Structure 1
Amino acid sequence: MAESTAPQPTVIKSEAEWRQQLSDFEFQVLRRAATEPPHVGEYTDTKTVGVYRCKACDAELFRSETKFDSNCGWPSFFAPKDTDTVTYHTDHLLGYARTEVRCATCDSHLGHVFSGEGYATPTDLRYCINSICMVLEPEEA
């Protein structure tokens, strides 16, 4: 996926403001692109119907109907809520190119997106997202 040419984030805070709002580990993942360990995230195996929102700014990111079991250790989705919900950036932190996914509203790191892995999804994409980056808003019955 190519780098996004989306508008600049609309939620902009100083590092001190982010540190005050987020726990130490949330700050490391959302603002410094760390990764939570596999198979420990709150939403890895959840089947709850609802909307996944950015923990940093509350923007809607993903819907439960696009979540699937990839057995990778992190929540996986085959598409964001809308095309302008996230932005894409090339990441070389592991010595090779990966596509980083960030919240378009606040520029927080969410995870990465992978393609061509053979998942039977409508997009052949796997958005591998850290649970700690999201809050699930369950759908009302």
Structure 2
Amino acid sequence: MKNALSIILIALLPLLSVAQAHIDSMAIVQKSQPYTIDKPEDLNIKGQIDAARHYKRYKGAATGTLLTSLLSPVIGLIPAILCSATYPKIDNLGYPNEELFKQATYYKAYTRREKKIKQRKVWSNWGIGLGVNLVVVLILAN
């Protein structure tokens, strides 16, 4: 029984780890002026980096999913699927510069990255709820 518990904990351990974003580590600052950007490729990268730095309003969706999945992982799938399928609301975006946000390339990159952040947090919290339920069931089974 202890072996089964340790195998389950090892299987759920990757859900709790967070890797460094490759975009942030590859960005090279060439000019000291933060918003002197000419190329659409630069706007794409800038939008992704800004989203990773400034998007913090995923907590409602992630917390709701965690609480629901703590009650029942099957019921917790409902908010997890719904929250991860939708883009964040405009009010929750938290973009740092409105002039950049009006540009289509920057807007698309920023919102795409925010959706990925939101999805990762929501599904991580669902996995935590599932793991807690599995541990409780295994403890009660002994």
TM-score calculated relative to the size of structure 1? 0.24
Q: Greater Rg, structure 1 or structure 2?
A: 2
Q: Which has the higher helix share?
A: 2
Q: RCO greater where, 1 or 2, for CA within 8 Å and sep 6 or more?
A: 2
Q: Which has the higher strand share?
A: 1
TM-score calculated relative to the size of structure 2? 0.24
